[in-house]
Amino acid sequence: MAPPTITGLRGTGQLSTVTLDWTPVPWATVVDHYAVYVASGSTWTLAGKTVYPRFVHRKLGFTAVTRSYRVVAVDAAGNSSAPSRTVAVANKTSVTVSGRPIARVGYYDGKGEFALTPNRSADYLATFPNDVDYTYGVSVRDRDWCYLQPGPSDKWAGSKNHRVRFRFNLAARPTTDLDLALWLIDSHASLAGSALLSVNGTQLERIAFANGATKGSTLNDSTLPGSPLKPSYIERPLPRRLFKVGQNFVDLYKDTGSWIAFDAFGIYARS
Amino acid sequence: MTSSPPPGLDRRRFLQLTGLSAATVALGVSAPADAAAVAGAVDVPAGAFGLGVASGEPSADGFVLWTRLAPQPLAADGHGGMPREDVVVSYEVAEDRAFATVVKTGTAIASPALAHSVHPEVRGLQPGREYFYRFRAGDQVSPVGRTKTFPAAGQPAARFTFAMASCQAWYHGYFTAYRDLAQRAVDAVFFLGDYIYEYGIVAGGNLWRQGVSVGVEHGVEIETLEQYRLRYSLFKSDPDLQAAHASAPWLMVWDDHEVQNNYGSDNSLYGIPPKLFVHRRAVAYRAFYENLPLSLDSLPQGPDSLVYRRFDVGTLARLNLLDTRQYRDPLPVDEADRLSESRTIMGQAQEEWLYGGMTGSPAAWNIIANGVVITAVTDGRVEQWDGYPANRRRLLAAMEQTSNPVALTGDIHHHVAAELKADFTNPSSKTVGVELICTSIGSDGDGADTDAYAKDWLQHPYVKLYSGRRGYVHTTLTPTEMTSEFVTFPYIEADAGAQPKVLARFRTPAGSPRLEAL
């Protein structure tokens, strides 16, 4: 007997990913897994299997593409349900694609290429006794920007809060909001925690980081086949009223959890 | 076949007429004697008993038998290479290894919904004696298992022997300890948690068992039922584990890795929201049931499974098997939370069940088998009972009112022997029981005699032994004393050839709980 057909399928697009949710089948059916199928043309392929009534389709790139999804329930005996109805979802376009870079450190390429890369976190306190204070155009990427930003859960970094400050110049006040593009190659698996984001000393919001794989403290290339790293992508608008002509700074103050591992950090204008 | 269903009589109706409930038939517990006609003739592929046989949950008149048909145990879909059809499995129970005196026969249906596992519950046997069993499916016969019934209810017993095992990370080394344990023909084996691990297994990473390789399907953290089934198959493919199961009835306790590292109740340590995580717990509990000799009482209902239960070994011992994962409060948010009086690692219903069963016990020895360490070590060990001090005080208070309490524990990959104090904040307080903590079978590989954690334990006068080698514990109970023997092996990563060493032996006199080194 086939398990019930999935209902309630819906999806939302994010950077590089699409998240699908649906209504789990009642407990009377013992589910082995849900199989998620995707099509960007007319051919359906298996995007992945999950035990949860949620699936995150990853590695979709940074330019929006609309894809179709449907879900099949497979029960403990190996029987498959009929496919659910189809939903169409697009991933989001990154500001690193749509915008114009003003200042940045790192390459948005899935690799960490900074000071202490790939595994010298033990040298953090000696190398960055006052944390990272980086001035775009003056500082040097692989000397002045640390590959990790520690948090208070990191004994190797003194079990205290840590800040990164990113300074850059503006020749004129921006006429539209700017965007922060903060990409990570990895984060701690259970204690990714959060950080306060501020512009020129004005606190904007708390950014919660997705849990990663706790591998980015020793590995720096998430693009290798089978890499265990779990990258994540954060892009946030920065209100134009907070900027001024001359030097500006954006702070990330990590006051909860453990470390994050940078792919790149930059400020973009909307073009 | 004389009583196959007549034309027009469907299977359900036929089963009703035979007097068996459709549930126990569908769940692989029992089936009509001529069930072959119901199930239809299915060719059973060669090597169907590739995961061995097992018994468990002994009583005075029987036990649960287990096997799971898997001619290709490592088939990636978790179905073990079986066709998606019901298969009839028959079994025989005999008084002798040659099956000259067969005392019970029966059948059960192995269905794809339970990964072709069967869990026949055999009753009506003699108390306190050894039995042998085997299964048949198609033209194939399983290996022979040895098992034993418990002594008669309410009657004294002269002696009860048991072994303890836990934490069998297959990928960290060979199961040398099981090779030795299987030779000892104990009355029962307590398994104390972490039968599987959920982590991806990666060559050059955590695969320390030398001379083996695994496919990429084993390289990811498991999450779906097919992946949990496959993980059990991988671990259970070990011949020494199979031999240990075939040597004695097992009593199963789980800990965290049967689901996910350090989960508690519906809380994942890794931020998976509870409303999602329960779906993972459901398949993990399902695979635990499917792969182990458990009674039908432990078959999960959705995300819930009843695995705390009690067995009496005559009046010599009462065995309480706890579940310290499914009902526990979340990790404490701060010190005030940790110290809260209402904090529980067992849940209120299980606490009441346990304390009543301890203080009202007729038994000389009262065993409490559980997944995590009870002894106070350091306040930071919040995933064990150190994170639940109020629950520990209630347990210790019940122990004070109980005849000869003994806790059996795994989890920490170390042999530790400790005396349980009425008040751990006052080490000179009364000793109310002892805790025997068994090292891992495989987890952490070769290990070392001592390590950086030793001082955390040995700072306490009530801790009498600490070792970081792999091994098992062998214990003998009599009405007057308990003798516990801690066995270790010098290595396990290279091969399964290491020789056992008795690291320490302790005597615990009845009526005066303590550990006397022998």
**Best mutation target, A27, A32, A50, to test chain B (most B CBs within 10 A):** A32
User: Could you tell me the pLDDT band of residue A265, with boundaries at 50, 70 and 90?
Assistant: very high
**A202 vs chain B: nearest CA distance in angstroms?**
30
| Chain B neighbors of A32, CB-CB under 8 A | 78, 224-226, 283
Domains and CATH numbers, chain B: 11-148 (2.60.40.380), 192-217+252-267+307-517 (3.60.21.70)
ipTM of the prediction: 0.93
**B245 vs chain A: nearest CA distance in angstroms?**
25
User: Where in the sequence of chain A do the CATH 2.60.40.10 domains occur?
Assistant: 7-90
| A7-90 carries CATH number 3.90.480.20 | no
**A50 vs chain B: nearest CA distance in angstroms?**
6
**A16 vs chain B: nearest CA distance in angstroms?**
20
Chain B residue with CA closest to A32: the answer is: B225
**A75 vs chain B: nearest CA distance in angstroms?**
8
**Best mutation target, A52, A75, A153, to test chain B (most B CBs within 10 A):** A52
Question: B223–A27: do the CB atoms touch at under 8 Å?
Answer: no
User: Where in the sequence of chain A do the CATH 2.60.120.260 domains occur?
Assistant: 97-270
Angstrom distance (rounded) from CA A156 to CA A150:
9
In the prediction, which pLDDT does B182 show? 98
In the prediction, which pLDDT does B5 show? 42
For residues B52, B250, B163, B100, the Cα torsion angle rounded to the nearest 10 degrees is -60
Candidate from A27, A32, A52 with C-beta closest to B225: A32
Q: Which CATH architecture has domain A97-270?
A: Sandwich (2.60)
Instruction: A35-38: list long-range contacts, CB under 8 Å, 24+ apart.
Output: A35/A71, A35/A72, A35/A73, A35/A74, A35/A80, A36/A69, A36/A70, A36/A71, A37/A69, A37/A70, A37/A71, A37/A72, A37/A83, A38/A67, A38/A68, A38/A69
CA B45 to chain CA centroid, nearest Å:
29
Candidate from B78, B270, B276 with C-beta closest to A53: B276
**Residues in B lying within 8 Å of A, measured between beta carbons:** 77-79, 84, 111-115, 200, 202, 216, 219, 223-226, 269-272, 276-277, 279-280, 282-283, 286, 301-303
Question: B224–A51: do the CB atoms touch at under 8 Å?
Answer: yes
Per-residue model confidence as pLDDT tens for chain B (518 residues): 334 444 444 555 545 555 566 677 778 888 877 665 554 567 899 999 999 999 999 999 999 999 999 999 999 999 999 999 999 999 999 999 999 999 999 999 999 999 999 999 999 999 999 999 999 999 999 999 999 999 999 999 999 999 999 999 999 999 999 999 999 999 999 999 999 999 999 999 999 999 999 999 999 999 999 999 999 999 999 999 999 999 999 999 999 999 999 999 999 999 899 999 999 999 999 999 999 999 999 999 999 999 999 999 999 999 999 999 999 999 999 999 999 999 999 999 999 999 999 999 999 999 999 999 999 999 889 999 999 999 999 999 999 999 999 999 999 999 999 999 999 999 899 999 999 999 999 999 999 999 999 999 999 999 999 999 999 999 999 999 999 999 999 999 999 999 999 999 999 999 999 999 99
In the prediction, which pLDDT does B8 show? 45
The Cα-based distances of B478 to B321, B369, B485 in angstroms read: 20, 18, 15
Candidate from A54, A79, A211 with C-beta closest to B271: A211
CB B107 within 8 A of CB B86: no
- Please give the span between the terminal C-alpha atoms of chain A, in angstroms, as a whole number: 56
A and B: number of Cβ contacts within 8 A: 70
